[in-house]
Structure 1
């Protein structure tokens, strides 16, 4: 019963995140940065949980890719924040928000039988949210340096979303 509640909670949170990513959360620099940084942190933490818990080679390989790509994205974002065009931008948070902390907790609490499905469902939702966030900011964001970062990051996130869909279909 708790597993079904956690899955439903993740889905509702994902819908809220998706709505925020396509509105002010994807246009304002502060909200964009918070969502982008927290998203990268979540991806790395969730992938580490998958490496510990998953029984599937495809899921474990995907998790390794998430760690590599989202660590790279975080480094690139921090580099963009050191540019002159971002000198007045507030530093982003360095920890998960409550929603993403709850998603990690739900992964940890998932039964062994449900773990891969829960992880992949979360990944599909998180990557859809991030793709929307990046596209919205790339098209309408306030800061040119961060718009450039969003534009260059979007194809990577879209590839991740396609990878999740392929793994889920097998």
Structure 2
């Protein structure tokens, strides 16, 4: 009986013909492909999407340039708050940002002198004595020397600052805080990554020392964002 059932099963498979065999092979191939795709997604496939907004490890010169740009934007945008915002909490946060990022600007200037090969183009923080100052002349924000406050900013940060200049009232506050959350998240990622895997020991030490302050800034900005929504 068992032999008969086996023969009948074999005959059924043969009756199904090559199409059934091909379908079985295709299903197996799809299963393998699905496992491979899943493995790639788990290992590397989702990595770019998950970390698209996170700063990668950069060279020492690029780290100084990015850190300098971050400081410039923080000071410029926060000075603008003193001119345009009527929200006491937002203004208090902005004062905190001006104070802290002016300090890191000065520290970075000193580091530039100590890092070998960091020419004038490695980082371009605001020189001492030229911290940005807000004025009310036609809504234009200037620094202490009378030049545009976005002087030295790249295209991306200039556009962000221009958005702030065009906003008013509660819309301005929400936009400023939203920008602060995003910019500080980028800064935290940048400093965290460089402090762990950077190529210059001196800069790595400074990044590690500065990181807790940036993390605190991010937490304050996120908390402030909750209070300015709506």
Distance 2:153 2:188 in 1: 19
Q: What is the DSSP-based 3-state SS (H/G/I as helix, E as strand, rest coil) of the residue aligned with 1:55? A: coil
Cα RMSD (Å): 1.5
Match of 1:66 among 93, 97, 103: 97
Moved over 3 A (4+): 18-21
- The reply on whether 1:34 has 2:65 as its aligned counterpart is yes
Q: What's the CA shift for 1:78?
A: 1.2
TM-score, scaled relative to structure 2 = 0.62
Tell me the residue number matched to 1:128.
185
Post-superposition Cα deviations, 1:13-71, rounded to whole Å, max 9, x if no partner, equal xxxxx847522xx3211221111000000000000111111111000000000000000
The structure that has the greater radius of gyration is 2
More helix by share: 1
Q: Identify which of structures 1 and 2 has the higher relative contact order when contacts are C-alpha pairs closer than 8 Å and 6+ apart.
A: 1
Number of positions where the alignment pairs a residue of Structure 1 with one of Structure 2:
149
In structure 1, the partner of 2:215 is: 158
Structure 1 segment 6-155 matched on structure 2, within 5 A:
19=52, 22-23=55-56, 26-83=57-114, 86-91=115-120, 92-94=123-125, 95-155=152-212
What per-residue deviation string (whole Å, max 9, x for no partner) do you get for residues 110-165 of structure 1? Answer: 13230000000000000000000001111111111111111111000000011111
Structure 2: 5+ residue runs without aligned partners? 1-50, 126-151
| Structure 1: gaps spanning 5 or more residues | 1-17
Q: 1:50 to 1:28 in 2, by over 3 A?
A: same
